[in-house]
Amino acid sequence: MDDEYAKLIRRMNPPRVVIDNDSCGHATVIEVDSANRHGILLQVVQVLTDLNLIITKAYISSDGGWFMDVFNVTDHDGNKLRDEEILNYIQKTLETEAGFLNSLRSSVGVMPSKEDTSIELTGSDRPGLLSEVSAVLTDLRCNVVNAEIWTHNARAAAVIHVTDQATGCAIEDPKRLSMIKKRLGNVLKGNSNFRTPKMTISSPGPVAMNRDRRLHQMMFAARDFERLEYAQDTNSRPHVTVLDCRDRDYTVVTIRSRDRPKLLFDTVCALTDMQYVVFHGTVITGRMEAYQEHYIRHVDGLPLRSEAERQRVTECLEAAIERRAWEGLVLELSTEDRFGLLSDVTRVFRENGLCIKRAVITTECGKAKDNFFVTDVSGNSVDSKTVEMIRQQIGQTILRVKGNLNFSPKLPQEGTRSFLFGNLFKGRSFQTFKLIKSYS
């Protein structure tokens, strides 16, 4: 009865969205009023984030069964939103129940698209893992059309979308899917010393998932918030405090961190996955730093009840923010797409001793545009001579240097350094055909 009543209230009170380009001198103000329900804040923030908008300020209120939020947003260049198509999309998506439901469906669970096959991988991070994975996929005639890979605290998670190299369509043959799963399973088992790897292969379906949302879920399930004993460096962590607000029966979470795109989305993902509701919140960003303050309760209506629970919330929020925080070198590959491109590029990186902390692989209209977030095998900045050597091997016109070449991130010597792409063995004895043979 409660669910039916809530649905009735939402039908009688559809969401109302006001977009204002006049009241603020440097940002577009978006106000959203709606009947409240669990997860609605994440859905709204995801709509804005999927458009690559920057949330500079936010005021959140969802007490009394009603959701009333205000977001100050700009485009990626810091300008107000002037594109009528984008403004109309925001208005239509946020004001319709169908838009919210589509957002929810594309955020939660495994939802493969009609055009490709989705492969999800989680496991221990180790040297050359992606290079091995991409080599096996190439051998199995699977073309990688897009992918995203995250590493954090010795865990690795990847969402990879592939098509049949011959047909350009999704792979649906059960025997072939079984072979892909077997071969990739052998790769993941390679050196998994303290956690069981997981893999899911999804046949085509009606709705494409949101990769960022799914990767947060996968890393959370892999418990990347649990730090290793020898990974105790705190220099680069966000500052998270979790305190009681006894007079109002809330728990107050405050977060200070370096500002970056998608920061609020990452924070709200973590709170939603842990089954917490934000009743009131404030987000303020400056030139370098971001400040967030959230008044939360568990979905059962109670604030946090123990020190262990407060510690877990702190650790999970730190992990969610750290997963894609980056200030160092980014290598951007832009070229005509071809079969086996990812395998070739990651092999060159591996042979030159690069570790890739994160990667975003995209293909559109026959063009590949890939971003690799890299360090050396010790977690330090990559030597400029090494970068130039790699550019000469791959092509100076197609591999551009972005980010800070001289930045040296403050990372622990062992615990949190990423081994997903790194190679401690730089010799040619680890060639692609040997990798393929060893996992057949």
Q: Per-residue pLDDT tens for 180-239?
A: 999 999 998 876 555 678 888 886 655 556 899 999 999 999 999 998 755 555 557 899
Residues 218 and 123: their CA atoms lie apart, in Å, by 10
311 vs 438, higher pLDDT: 311
Give residue 235's pLDDT: 59
Residues 269 and 267: their CA atoms lie apart, in Å, by 5
* Residue 276 burial (CB count, 10 A): 22
Give residue 209's pLDDT: 61
Do 231 and 418 meet the contact criterion of CB atoms below 8 Å apart?
no
pLDDT value at 111 more than 90: no
pLDDT value at 440 more than 80: no
Give residue 389's pLDDT: 95
311 vs 106, higher pLDDT: 311
Tokens representing 3 are 């669910």
User: 212 by DSSP, 3-state: which?
Assistant: helix
Rounded mean pLDDT, 411-438: 38
Do 137 and 176 meet the contact criterion of CB atoms below 8 Å apart?
no
Least confident span in 39-43, 45-49, 109-113, 147-151: 109-113
Residues 150 and 222: their CA atoms lie apart, in Å, by 12
pLDDT value at 12 more than 80: no
Burial of 2 (0-12, 13-18, 19+ CB in 10 A): exposed
Do 38 and 69 meet the contact criterion of CB atoms below 8 Å apart?
no
Do 44 and 69 meet the contact criterion of CB atoms below 8 Å apart?
yes
Residues 390 and 392: their CA atoms lie apart, in Å, by 5
Q: Supply φ then ψ for residue 6, to 5 degrees.
A: -65, -40
Furthest-apart CA atoms within the chain: distance in Å: 67
258 vs 404, higher pLDDT: 258
Q: State the pTM of this model.
A: 0.84
Give residue 204's pLDDT: 60
In this prediction, residue 327 has a pLDDT band, given cuts at 50, 70 and 90, of confident
pLDDT tens digits, 347-388: 999 999 998 899 999 999 999 999 999 988 888 899 999 999
For the residues of 338-361, what is the DSSP string, one character each? -TTHHHHHHHHHHHTTEEEEEEEE
For the residues of 144-186, what is the DSSP string, one character each? EEEEEEEEETTEEEEEEEEEETTTSS----HHHHHHHHHHHHH
Rounded mean pLDDT, 40-49: 94
Give residue 238's pLDDT: 94
| Angle of the 211-221 helix axis to the 263-273 helix axis, nearest 10 | 50
Give residue 181's pLDDT: 93
* Residue 182 burial (CB count, 10 A): 11
The answer for residues whose C-beta is within 8 angstroms of residue 121's C-beta and 6 or more apart is 133, 156, 157, 158, 160, 184, 188, 197, 198, 199
Work out the mean pLDDT of the chain and round it to a whole number: 84
